[in-house]
Structure 1
Amino acid sequence: MRRELSILFIDHTVYKQYTALGELHLKESVFGREAGLLEAALEEFSEKSYEDASLNAILRGAGISKGVFYYHFADKKALYLFLQKASAEAKWKFIDENASLQGAACGDIFEQFRRQARLAAEFAAQYPRFHRLGEMLAKERGNPVYEEAMKALGGSAESVIAPMVDQAVREGNLKKEYSREFLIRLLSYLFGHFHEIFDREEERGLESVLANLDTYIDFIRHGVGNE
């Protein structure tokens, strides 16, 4: 089993979590056909758009029948949403655990984002197919499956950024001439599109990503930060 999938199955925690969604029924062994199915699905969905991804190709890659598949998932969309949510959970688990090893969080909104983004870059380097899966989801904006994925993931980027902006305003870290709505929309977009700006092949190495990230955060701070 590839390393990406192994992070989902530690103590069966993440895998079992999704039984509550009603999207699949689990057997005791998650390292057999189920793992093979997720392996094939991750390969397909991380390389192709949702529309172009083929359920038949996934089943061939997993070596399972449609009957076995439909025992676990309702359809291709359920499998897609499961993988997106499971990979997001794995990413935030990685970030939270490594952040705790580095000590208590400190700094303003820019330093908080820098810290999280650096850990996210390390996660992407260690689990590149999960990272590509997230990139492929971002390309689905405007399609119904994107909205469904956002609901499954717990909301939009703006809903995550909003409380950070509110705290930053209270602490005087952001310029007062910009409205709350403007700051939330702007920072949500900038924080969420870093990888689309620095997407050249030579910029994908971890060292280059971290260097560009530091410059990027400093640039945003000089624009809207209250220095």
Structure 2
Amino acid sequence: TVASKARIFLLVAQDADVVVALTEAERLGAVGRGFAYLVADSTSTQLSSAPLAPANVNELAAGFLRMQATVPPNPREAALQEMWSQLAGTGEAAELALEYPILELPDDAFDTPFPNAGALFYDAVIALALACNASLHDDGALGQGSEIMANLVTTQFDGASGRVAFDESNGDRLLATVTIGLQNFVLDDDGGLIEVSVGTWTLGSGVQLDRAIIWPGLTTDIPNDGANCGP
């Protein structure tokens, strides 16, 4: 960027591909101070388990940043988590798998922790259901896809993930209803790679940091390699 003169890389890849990219980046001198790496949900903190991972892969990945939609604490999301926990150990997942095999639901699905994006998935299903209901004709027939889409983008409700509303021009969720969590890959005391929350971004407040970001090179200094990348 012009302001910080940082070299920023975006990685949308599985762990094995990230390892290959990091190995080549190290060879080219494109790691450490002055660089920033943004990764997608497809990249985990288990890079050391990937094939061909170098011994220093955790050090290379320390300082990665991940941005993902997150859900601020709210009563609806808390109730959804409580309902999920009550289903643990009940065998309900196995019964659902038999009744709806298309779901390919593991028998122990509810025994795992509530997914980070669980409230978003839950509200997505509700939004689609409301749009389909609004697209039903008097004879019981469901409208065409364009009609469902038109009803979907005008759907609004207070869900488990907060206020749900869409941009009618493209169908994206309105940024004003979205909270983006900022996650930082850091080293633990044993040299393992872990992910910690460092703050959030909202349209109204911008970036709000709860703790200092650890950047590549294990520094809290904002990346600046001295290069002028131009506009």
TM-score, scaled relative to structure 1: 0.24
Bigger fraction of residues in strand: 2
Q: Which has the higher contact order (CA 8 A, sep 6+)?
A: 2
TM-score, scaled relative to structure 2: 0.24
